[in-house]
A and B are shown apart, each in its own frame.
Chain A
Amino acid sequence: MKIFYHFGRYFMLIKRAFGKPEKISIYISRIFEEMNLLGIGSLGIVAIISVFMGAVITIQSAFNFESPLIPLYAVGVAVRDSMILEFSPAIVSLILAGKVGSSIASEIGTMRVSEQIDALEIMGINSAGYLVFPKIVASVLFNPILVVFSMFLGILGGYIFGMMAGVVTDYEYIYGITYQFRPYNVMYALIKSIVFAFIIASVPAYHGYYTSGGALEVGRSSTKGVVYSSVLILAFDLILTQLLLA
């Protein structure tokens, strides 16, 4: 039964977060602030894991495709499809759920236990709108950019390390990544990334917002925020894949 309680409270928070802003200009600058913090601040980690993942997939698939029946350009196809379909949207979002999610939950949780949220409310400010809304918008706007960035770097990483390891040739890899390319797959990835972005920002924000107690509870909220948003990302990954690809 507890799950219904959380669902209800979560949707109430989201509804309040999307209420009428007190002052549009402040909300807009808050969105840019959050984009800088959550988006730009994540470029580094996304770049590193994408390059390495692309490289590992290239080398692994070259190793597995050692049969004369499978053409070598299949390596390029494998890297492209695994990056675009699953790795960039889902795995990158999972990693962001850890990085961004814990920072959102602990920031809002700290503001709750040190009465900063109460202070906002007393000033007559809709604290959910002021704190949560810009995070959700920034995440939804920026996550697709991170995902495209990750696809690009993953495929590039595969190319560089594949060449260095000598498992594919220049021509085959490039032929592979363009072979029967379906732009719809990128669409599918972007739709997923938007849904995941909403989860990454809103679920940890929910856990932070309803923290009560002290520093210990802030830590707990942060953990809960990361765990629940990760599980939800995986669940929605399955649902969306079934809906969009099947």
Chain B
Amino acid sequence: MIEIKNISKSFSGRNVLNDISFTFQTGKTNMIIGESGSGKTTLLKCMVGLNEINEGQILYDGRSFTELDFKHKKEIRKEIGMLFQGGALFDSKTVEENVVFPLSMFTDMSESEKRDRANFCLQRVNLLNANNLFPSEISGGMKKRVAIARAIAVQPKYLFCDEPNSGLDPKTSIVIDNLIKEITEEYNITTIVITHDMNSVIEIGDRIMFIYKGNKHWEGTKEEILKTSNQEVCDFVYATKFMKDLKTKF
């Protein structure tokens, strides 16, 4: 369980996050949704300490992240798997080496064990026969999937995904969504997924936080989000014709 309490963040005087509190539950897929530029990525980066917060508290299963020193923050970070919005693959390493890397760093597995684990993870993201290619040689969607494989390689306790299925085709999107949900439940992970995609929300969202202009504007379940009367949430949820049609049907 990760609790955030009254988080505020500004960049050179410009407020980007205002007083956000939320509890991300273990074994559940927690979703952060909101318009582009609303502060979703910033919130996630604040939670892992890549951005300093101005105010607030972050608790990882009761451990106050903000108060820890560099060394103890590192211990918590080892339990985090993170997918960056841009993938952030190491471009001097091949696909397989990228996935193997965290294993080499933090486990005592033998070469063949590491390779097996990497292949297992790559297989789960539907990526076969790309092991020896470099990031510059694969497509955007493939990079995303390698990044997911790398994030889950060390079996994290906390999994953060910044737009895991942007740039993927609908079929692969569903595979990735289901993978995230599956491992979340299987290993009892605290998962946070940032997305714009209402399909993903309906598919896998357990708890949903809607961020609007840096504020937590709404929270609830996927059943509730379809019925809410909150204007901004409705504008977001029913932005597409497909969703509008769906609403009139019910």
Chain A residues with a Cβ under 8 A of chain B: 22-23, 26, 110-111, 114-116, 118-119, 121-126
Q: Which 8 A-B pairs have the closest CB atoms?
A: A124-B78, A115-B88, A124-B77, A119-B88, A124-B74, A122-B82, A115-B84, A123-B102
CB-nearest residue of chain B relative to A110?
B91
The yes or no answer to B245 lying at the interface (CB within 8 A) is no
Whether A123 contacts B105 by the Cβ 8 Å rule is yes
Bound Cα distance A121, B51 (Å): 12
The smallest C-beta distance from A134 to any residue of chain B, in angstroms, reads 13
Question: Min CB distance, B145 to chain A, in Å?
Answer: 15
On whether the beta carbons of B75 and A124 are closer than 8 Å, the reply is yes
Interchain residue pairs with CB less than 8 A apart (7): A22-B105, A23-B106, A119-B88, A122-B48, A122-B80, A123-B78, A124-B80
Do the beta carbons of B77 and A123 come within 8 Å of each other? yes
Residues of chain B lying within 8 A (CB to CB) of residue A122: 48, 50, 77, 80, 82
Contact B82 A119 (CB under 8 A): yes
Query: Which of the residues A26, A116, A118, A124 comes within 8 Å of B91, measured between beta carbons?
Result: A116
The residue in chain A whose Cβ has the minimal distance to the Cβ of B82 is A122
Question: For residues 23 through 81 of chain B, which have their beta carbon under 8 Å from a beta carbon of chain A?
Answer: 45, 48, 50, 74-75, 77-78, 80
Docked-complex contact A26 and B105, CB < 8 angstroms: yes
Q: How far is the CB of B121 from chain A (nearest CB, A)?
A: 15
Q: Does B7 contact A (CB under 8 A)?
A: no
Tell me the bound Cα distance from A141 to B78 in angstroms.
32
Cβ of B105: which chain A residues have Cβ within 8 Å of it?
22-23, 26, 123, 125
Contact between A115 and B75, CB atoms less than 8 A apart: no
Q: How far is the CA of A22 from the CA of B101 in the complex (A)?
A: 13
Q: A118-B50, A119-B90, A123-B154 given; name 4 further pairs at CB < 8 Å.
A: A26-B104, A122-B80, A124-B74, A124-B78
A22 to chain B: which residues have CB within 8 Å? 105-106
B90–A121 contact, CB under 8 A? no
Q: What separation, in Å, do the CA atoms of A26 and B45 have in the docked complex?
A: 27
Q: Give the CA-CA distance A126 to B77 in the complex, in Å.
A: 11
Q: Which B residues, 218 to 236, have Cβ-Cβ distances below 8 Å to chain A?
A: none
- Verify B78–A119 contact, CB threshold 8 A: no
8 Å CB contact of B86 from A23, A110, A111, A115:
A115
- Report if B142 contacts A (CB, 8 A): no
Chain A residues with CB below 8 A from B78, complex form: 123-124
Give Cα A110–Cα B135 distance, bound, in whole angstroms.
14
What A residues does B91 contact at CB under 8 A? 110, 114, 116
State the CA gap A110–B91 with chains docked (Å). 10
B88 touches A118 (CB 8 A): yes
Q: A119 and B84 in contact (CB under 8 A), knowing A124-B74, A124-B75, A124-B78?
A: yes
The answer to whether B89 has its CB under 8 Å from any CB of chain A is: yes
- Identify the closest chain B residue to A117 (Cβ): B88
Residue pair B86, A114 in contact (C-beta under 8 Å): yes
Least CB distance from A217 to B in Å reads 16
Contact residues in A for B101 (Cβ distance below 8 Å):
123
* Chain B residues, CB < 8 A from A116: 88-91
Per the bound structure, the CA–CA distance linking A123 and B80 in Å amounts to: 7
Contacts of A114 in B (CB 8 A): 86, 88, 91
Q: How far is the CA of A26 from the CA of B80 in the complex (A)?
A: 21
Contact pattern, B 118-135, Cβ under 8 Å of A = 1, otherwise 0 = 000000000000000000
Give the distance to chain B from A214, nearest Cβ to Cβ, in Å. 11
* Chain B residues with CB under 8 A of A125: 105
Query: Measured between alpha carbons, how far is A116 from B90 in the docked complex, in Å?
Result: 6
Contact A118 B84 (CB under 8 A): yes
User: Would you give the 0/1 interface string for B197-209, flagging 1 where the beta carbon is closer than 8 Å to chain A?
Assistant: 0000000000000
Cα distance, A124 to B88, chains bound together (Å)? 15
Residues of B near A118 (CB, < 8 A) are: 45, 50, 84, 88
Contact, CB under 8 Å: B89 / A121: no
Shortest Cβ distance from residue B14 to the other chain A in the assembled complex, whole angstroms: 16
Bound form: Cα–Cα A126–B71 in Å = 9
Min CB gap B188→A, angstroms: 21
Instruction: Specify which chain A residues have a CB less than 8 angstroms from the CB of B86 in the assembled complex.
Output: 114-115
CA distance A114 to B102 in the complex (A): 18
Closest chain A CB from B140 CB (angstroms) = 13
How distant is the Cα of A114 from the Cα of B82 in the complex, in angstroms?
14
